Structure 1
């Protein structure tokens, strides 16, 4: 247990030195929140009721799909994996410590948005904060599981950047956080539902934590878990 906690602490320190993770988990999401929060609430005053959820969906999506996968490439595409094998450390430990560290980073960003949005933009706080943070934790975990698939299956940093953008942009543009999803053409709305963002957005709304909004996220999580298990098995053989 002590070794596991040490691994998480070490990964946290490495992540704090990672420019890609800091930019994707903190700098860009918070700048986007500060700049666009006022614009959204001015153009669409009713968005005060969902501003927190919308900004968190954007932050989590960027951190999970763009910020976290490069850390996995650094772990499993470098001498770190060799050190794991040489010292008898399970190959999956690198994934777990990266997941836990990224989870904490994204949770901190979410907490910052929850604290600042009512003060800066008169945003409405969720009526049930414990339920809201449970929904947030579920959404972060599912998003990170998909980011893990990207980081474990794509070995090239250039390809990873391209694929991550192809996952991130539709997640945001078709999720309903920028404008109501029912304004989209029917086929684009259906494409948007393939990504976790619209489900996570509805899950974090008041009284949104229900099986109707949860089932697809569960499917995504278990599918991603299976793919990651297969990828880690291959990493252990290489």
Structure 2
């Protein structure tokens, strides 16, 4: 257990020095929050009611779908995994330590948005804080699990970047955070429900913590976990 905790803390410290993670978990989400928060609240004053959930969904999705996968590729797409084997380190430890480190970073970023939005944009604060942060933890977990699938399944950096973008962009555009999903054609609205962002956004809204949002996220998480287990076994046998 001590070795595992040491690995997680070490990965977190390494991630702090990572420019990629700094950009995707902090700089891009917070810049988007500052710019788009001002635009949204100026054009649509009612957006203050949902500003914190919408900006949080954007930030978490950026870190999980664009920031996390390259970190996994550095381990499982290179000779680092051989070092794991040579030293008797379980192959899953790399994924788990990166997952937990990213979870901490995305949680910090989300708290910054939560604290800054009411001060800067007079945004409404979620009425039930325990439920909100429980929903946030669930959404971060599910989003990171999808990022793990991408990082484990692709071994080429160029392909990984392209696929990550192909998943990230529709995930955000169809989630309802930019404009109401009710304005989308039926087919696009249905496609948006395949991504965690759409359900995470509903979960983070006031009175959104219910089975209608939890069940799809649970299904996505279960599928992602099973796929990651399969990929880790495949990597171990190679």
TM-score tier (shorter): over 0.9
Unaligned runs of 5+ in 2: none
What's 1:10 paired with? 10
Match of 1:103 in 2: 103
CA distance in 2: counterparts of 1:209 and 1:184, whole angstroms: 23
What TM-score does the superposition give when structure 2 sets the normalisation length? 0.98
Per the alignment, residue 43 of structure 1 pairs with 43
Moved more, 4-13 or 159-168: 4-13
Aligned counterparts of 1:147 and 1:114: Cα–Cα separation in 2: 23
How far apart are the structure 2 equivalents of 1:172 and 1:234?
A: 31
Distance in 2 (CA, whole Å) between partners of 1:70 and 1:11 is: 14
Q: Distance in 2 between matches of 1:30 and 1:49?
A: 19
* Structure 1 partner of 2:88: 88
RMSD: 0.8
Aligned residue pairs total: 238
Hey, what's the Cα distance between the residues in 2 that align with 1:236 and 1:21?
27
Q: Distance in 2 between matches of 1:225 and 1:13?
A: 25
- Give a deviation string over 1:190-220, Cα, whole Å, max 9, x none: 1111111110001011121111111000000
Q: Which residue of 2 aligns with 1:150?
A: 150
Paired with 1:186 and 1:237, the residues of 2 have a C-alpha distance of 43
Residue 137 (structure 1) aligns with: 137
SS in 2 for 1:172: helix
* Pairing 1:45-84 to 2, within 5 Å after superposition: 45-84=45-84
> Which stretches of structure 1, 4 residues or longer, exceed 4 Å deviation after superposition?
none
State the TM-score, normalizing by the size of structure 1: 0.98
Shift of 1:185: 1.4
